[in-house]
Chains A and B, each alone.
Chain A
Amino acid sequence: LRLTRLVLFSIVVVAISASAVFAQNSRTFVSGSGLDSNPCSLAAPCRTMTQALSVTNAGGEVVILSTAAYGPFTVNKAVTIEAPPGIYAGITATGGDGIDVNANANDVVTLRGFTVTNLDTSSTGIAFNSGGTLNIENCVVDGFTSSTGIGIYAPGDTLVKDTIVRNNGSGFLVNPLTTGTAVTITMDHVRLDGNTIGIFVVPGDGTAATVSAVNAVIRNSSISNNNIGVDVSPQVGVVSVGLERCLIANNIDGFALNTVSPASASVSISNCTISRNVREAFHIGLGTTIFSRGSNIFIGNGPDSSGSLTPFPAQ
């Protein structure tokens, strides 16, 4: 009897400690040598992002401890997932997306320090499917050659900083598949180079979903060596794209702007270099405007530009 009680007691203790350890944490860890049977602690890290996320509190962090590949994953709550400098955290998409953000409407999701690559699937590197705010910092998204590097598929706010998006079909795609009010985009020190299309803003394309506005601001960024640098072709909503101190160079076409009624689109440029775009600097199509502050340099572009810039004085 005593033995039985002892055993029972041990079981209870084990059960309690296990549940304590495996409960939700504010900060969890993954490592190349981790195990998903671990509690995802600093001393006993997990192996996969999926397991770490499942034991992390909303509002918490998952931190990567060592260089390794971590596999595709989905984020369904407010969380920060971070590889510090010095650690390579590779995510290779092998059939689906690299990272899916499927969070709730007010959730803030931050991805920092990832390298997202592709085995040429028709998927997206980082897909914003739902959520409040998505921060993408210090990431590389590479090689989604027949699809999309970063895809914004829902209304919400996206901020991209210090990130390289190269060698994709669409580098950065805005095409919400769910109806909502506004998409906002803020980019700083981003390199959208060597894609088929650098930035592709096409709300309403192939979807009945509507969005009232897309407001994008891009600063200190390079959109170069693409087939099309900036393609703004909305079918719904009012699209506004502002570029400050950007390089739009060495593309085949610099800007390609078109709308389908009732959408409208405008691009404003200041202190930008728009040069060496082989075929044309810009195509200003139906329902679109390029506002120019007069401080941009246009040189060495191909002869086929259509439409004219609309002056927009500094204040």
Chain B
Amino acid sequence: MNTLGSCIKALALFSTSSVLVIILGATAFGQAQRTFVAETGLDSNPCSLTAPCRTFTQAISQTNAGGEVVVLSSAGYGPFAINKALTVEAPEGVYAGITVNGGSGDGIDINAGPNDVVKLRGLTVNNVGSTGNGVVFNTAATVHIESCVVNGFTNGAGIKIPGSGIGALGSLLVKDTIARNNEWGILLGLTTGTLRVTMDHVRLDANSIGLAMNAQGTFEGAPVTATGVMRDSSVSGNTGTGISVTAGNGTAGICALDLESCLVTNNASGMNLQQNGGSATASISNTNITNNSTIGFSIGTGSAIFSLGDNTITGNGPDTGTLTQLAGQ
């Protein structure tokens, strides 16, 4: 009797577990708010904590809009695209590598909707012989790039906005991030909309060009506009120009950049501002522009650099143009 009872119990338990497994399985393979990838994961898994997936692409497809993909272990995870509001995050202590091996593809393509907010955190994007870019902001409302490293895109940009995907008010926020050894550290070439860029604790070092911003054309009757603010950041050791701010290109366009407590040092050229039919301006405060071998700053006709009068500018090649003094308030 006892034995029979145990058997029945075991059977019942077994059935219950099977049902549970089936239910859990069904739930897990639907969309989840939070999914996981790991070096030992399998893309046939539900991307759960206990059964993680191997690739971001599979995990993203299993994640709700507005959800998160979390990296559990150090590994390479391959290039991917994001087509919805999403966070992709590797915690500190976990190396999540995205390597672009040859070809012309990008590391991470952001192709999200016009109201979507995308967040990348803790990723290392590396290039081995491709002609693509590291992180490309094609379309989205806002992109946050935090604690990332983008390296080696010597024929492309570390972080890029290619042009026409920005709407009435797009935002790019880059924080605690390094872009090095690229053709462009950050390349923002705006042909539509209004873009607001905030850079805080960013290192755009040892690229050909550290930061290049351009806005040209009109959008809904107004000039295409890109405003950037950079704080506590370094744009140093770039073999060409540290910072290039250009606008117009024969049409309209407003491009502006404010530097607070930044280093623009040891580049060939420090800062270069040019406009042709638009407005290209910059402001500098508490900033060092030093030891740029060819030129410290070059201010083209109709452009301006406003100086708060508290900057260190020395040891550069000859400058072109004159700073415009701006009183502190």
Name A residues whose Cβ lies closer than 8 Å to a Cβ of B. Answer: 32, 67-69, 85-88, 90, 92, 115, 117, 119-120, 142-143, 164, 166-167, 191, 193-194, 220, 222, 224-225, 245, 247, 249-250, 271, 273, 275-276, 278, 292, 294-300, 309
**B258 with A67: CB separation less than 8 A:** no
B33 within 8 A of A: yes
**A300 with B34: CB separation less than 8 A:** no
**B329 with A296: CB separation less than 8 A:** yes
Given A68-B49, A167-B142, A294-B328, verify A225-B173 contact (CB < 8 Å): yes
**Complex Cα–Cα for A213 and B68 (A):** 39
CB of B92, distance to nearest CB on chain A (Å)? 4
Given A68-B49, A224-B198, A273-B260, verify A193-B144 contact (CB < 8 Å): yes
Closest to B91 in A: A88
B175 within 8 A of A: yes
**A276 with B258: CB separation less than 8 A:** yes
Q: Which of B97-133 contact A (CB under 8 A)?
A: 117, 119
Indicate with 1 or 0, residue by residue over B298-329, a CB within 8 angstroms of chain A CB atoms: 00000000101000000000000000001011
**B91 with A67: CB separation less than 8 A:** yes
**A309 with B198: CB separation less than 8 A:** no
CB of B20, distance to nearest CB on chain A (Å)? 17
Indicate with 1 or 0, residue by residue over B210-240, a CB within 8 angstroms of chain A CB atoms: 0000000000000000011101100000000
**B119 with A300: CB separation less than 8 A:** no
Contact of B173 among A67, A193, A276, A309 (CB under 8 A): A193
Contact count band on B = 35 or more
**B197 with A275: CB separation less than 8 A:** no
**Complex Cα–Cα for A245 and B201 (A):** 14
Chain A to chain B contacts (Cβ below 8 Å), 15 pairs: A67-B70, A67-B72, A119-B66, A142-B119, A143-B117, A167-B117, A193-B144, A194-B142, A225-B171, A245-B261, A273-B285, A275-B229, A296-B328, A297-B258, A300-B281
Contacts of A120 in B (CB 8 A): 66
The 9 closest A-B pairs by CB, nearest first: A86-B93, A250-B196, A276-B227, A88-B91, A249-B229, A85-B92, A224-B198, A273-B260, A225-B171
Secondary structure type dominating chain B contacts: strand
Contacts of B94 in A (CB 8 A): 86
**B68 with A300: CB separation less than 8 A:** no
Given A67-B72, A88-B70, A90-B68, verify A119-B173 contact (CB < 8 Å): no
Contact of A90 among B34, B283, B328 (CB under 8 A): B34
Secondary structure type dominating chain A contacts: loop
**A275 with B283: CB separation less than 8 A:** yes
Closest to B36 in A: A67
Indicate with 1 or 0, residue by residue over B121-154, a CB within 8 angstroms of chain A CB atoms: 0000000000000000000001010100000000
**Complex Cα–Cα for A292 and B329 (A):** 6
Contacts of A68 in B (CB 8 A): 49
**A224 with B93: CB separation less than 8 A:** no
CB of B235, distance to nearest CB on chain A (Å)? 17
Given A85-B92, A250-B198, 13 more A-B residue pairs with CB atoms under 8 Å apart are A86-B93, A86-B94, A117-B87, A119-B66, A194-B117, A247-B260, A250-B171, A273-B258, A276-B256, A278-B196, A297-B285, A300-B227, A300-B283
Given A92-B33, A193-B173, verify A298-B329 contact (CB < 8 Å): yes
Contacts of A194 in B (CB 8 A): 117, 142, 144, 171, 173
B89 within 8 A of A: yes
**Complex Cα–Cα for A194 and B232 (A):** 19
Contact of A193 among B49, B198, B283, B306 (CB under 8 A): B198
CB of A249, distance to nearest CB on chain B (Å)? 4
Contact of A69 among B34, B231, B232 (CB under 8 A): B34
B200 within 8 A of A: yes
Contacts of B93 in A (CB 8 A): 85-87
**B68 with A117: CB separation less than 8 A:** yes
**Complex Cα–Cα for A298 and B70 (A):** 39
**A309 with B66: CB separation less than 8 A:** no
**B329 with A222: CB separation less than 8 A:** no
Contacts of A299 in B (CB 8 A): 258, 283, 306, 326
**A247 with B68: CB separation less than 8 A:** no
**Complex Cα–Cα for A224 and B72 (A):** 31
Closest to B94 in A: A86
Of A143, A164, A249, most B-chain CB atoms within 10 Å? A249
**Complex Cα–Cα for A166 and B117 (A):** 10
CB of B324, distance to nearest CB on chain A (Å)? 11
**B231 with A87: CB separation less than 8 A:** no
CB of B176, distance to nearest CB on chain A (Å)? 9
Contacts of B175 in A (CB 8 A): 164, 191, 222
**Complex Cα–Cα for A250 and B283 (A):** 14
**Complex Cα–Cα for A265 and B127 (A):** 52
Contacts of B117 in A (CB 8 A): 143, 166-167, 194
Closest to B90 in A: A88
Contacts of B66 in A (CB 8 A): 119-120, 143
Given A92-B33, A299-B283, A309-B329, verify A249-B198 contact (CB < 8 Å): yes
Closest to B70 in A: A88
**A297 with B72: CB separation less than 8 A:** no
**Complex Cα–Cα for A278 and B256 (A):** 13
